[in-house]
Amino acid sequence: MKSGHTSVLYEESLKALCVRPQDVVLDATVGGAGHFRGLLSSLSNDGVLIGIDEDANAIERAREVVAEDRRSDRPVVHLMEDNFRNIGHVLERLGISHIDKALFDLGWSGFQLSDGKGFSFQADEPLLMTYGNPEVHGSAAELVNTMPEEELAKLIFIYGEERFARHIAKAICRARSTARILSTQDLVAAINAGVPAWYRTRRTHPATKTFQALRIAVNDELGALEEGLRGAIQHLGAGGRIAVITFHSIEDRIVKSIFRDAVAEGTGSVVNKKVITPSYEELKLNPRARSAKLRIFESNERDEPVSALPHELMYA
The order of strands in the sheet holding 99-105 is: 76-81, 48-53, 24-27, 99-105, 236-246, 293-299, 268-270
Nearest residue to 80 via CA among 91, 70, 71, 65: 91
pTM of the model: 0.88
Q: Following CA atoms 274, 253, 111, 67 in sequence, which dihedral angle do they give, to the nearest 10 degrees?
A: 60
pLDDT (0 to 100) of residue 130: 87
Nearest residue to 41 via CA among 10, 7, 13, 73: 73
Rounded Cα–Cα distance for residues 191 and 132 (Å): 26
CA distances from 2 to 35, 110, 113, 284 (A): 21, 9, 8, 20
CA distances from 72 to 37, 43, 68, 251, 268 (A): 16, 12, 12, 39, 36
pLDDT (0 to 100) of residue 112: 60
Task: Quote the strand ranges of the chain, DSSP E.
Answer: 24-27, 48-53, 76-81, 99-105, 236-246, 268-270, 293-299
pLDDT (0 to 100) of residue 67: 97
- Does residue 313 surpass a pLDDT of 90? no
Tallying the residues shown for the chain, one arrives at: 316
> 15-29, 126-140, 216-230 — which is least confidently predicted?
126-140
pLDDT (0 to 100) of residue 1: 37
- Does residue 307 surpass a pLDDT of 90? no
Rounded Cα–Cα distance for residues 288 and 76 (Å): 33
Q: Band of the pLDDT at 6, cuts 50, 70, 90?
A: confident
At 181-197, the pLDDT tens digits run: 999 999 999 999 999 99
In the chain, the largest separation of any two C-alpha atoms, in whole Å, equals: 65
Percentage of the residues of the chain whose pLDDT score is greater than 90: 79
pLDDT (0 to 100) of residue 99: 98
pLDDT (0 to 100) of residue 239: 96
DSSP annotation of 81 reads: E
pLDDT (0 to 100) of residue 113: 61
Rounded Cα–Cα distance for residues 164 and 232 (Å): 37
Q: Band of the pLDDT at 117, cuts 50, 70, 90?
A: confident
At 57-103, the pLDDT tens digits run: 999 999 999 999 999 999 999 999 999 999 999 999 999 999 999 99
At 264-275, the pLDDT tens digits run: 999 999 999 899
